[in-house]
């Protein structure tokens, strides 16, 4: 499942049903995914999504993960595209007075 923005500060949680086709050509494996259908299983306001994502990002910062790890882990945990996670992290850095240094997010006085 994945959360996707649909406009007007609304998000939908979509479950995609697909078929995976796998075949070999020589020693290489190839995959193709055919989407059969998708269904909306939940809706949320952008504020709700941001609030949950913010909790996850704060925890990952406190655990000392790199910026790339934070983006990847938070995106996977929430099912949100990394592009939106990166945007939230930028807002969070400004809000909490955090800085980015050598691929890490830190408090300036630590």
The pLDDT, as a whole number, for residue 11 is 94
Lookup: tokens for 37: 């259908």
Provide the domain limits for residue 68.
2-106
The pLDDT, as a whole number, for residue 94 is 84
pLDDT in tens, 90-109: 888 888 788 888 888 887 77
pLDDT in tens, 33-84: 999 999 999 999 988 988 998 899 889 988 989 999 999 999 999 999 899 8
CA 55/CA 19 separation, integer angstroms: 34
Answer whether 0.85 is exceeded by the pTM. Answer: no
């Amino acid at each position: 499942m994945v959360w996707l923005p649909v406009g007007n500060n609304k998000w939908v949680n979509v479950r995609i049903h697909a078929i995976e086709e796998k075949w070999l050509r020589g020693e290489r494996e190839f995959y193709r995914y055919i989407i059969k259908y998708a269904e909306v299983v939940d809706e949320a306001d952008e504020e709700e999504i941001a609030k949950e994502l913010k909790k996850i990002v704060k925890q990952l910062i406190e655990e000392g993960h790199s910026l790339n790890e934070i983006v990847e882990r938070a995106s996977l945990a929430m099912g949100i595209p990394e592009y939106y996670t990166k945007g939230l992290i930028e807002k969070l850095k400004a809000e909490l007075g955090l800085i980015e240094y050598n691929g890490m997010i830190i408090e300036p006085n630590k």
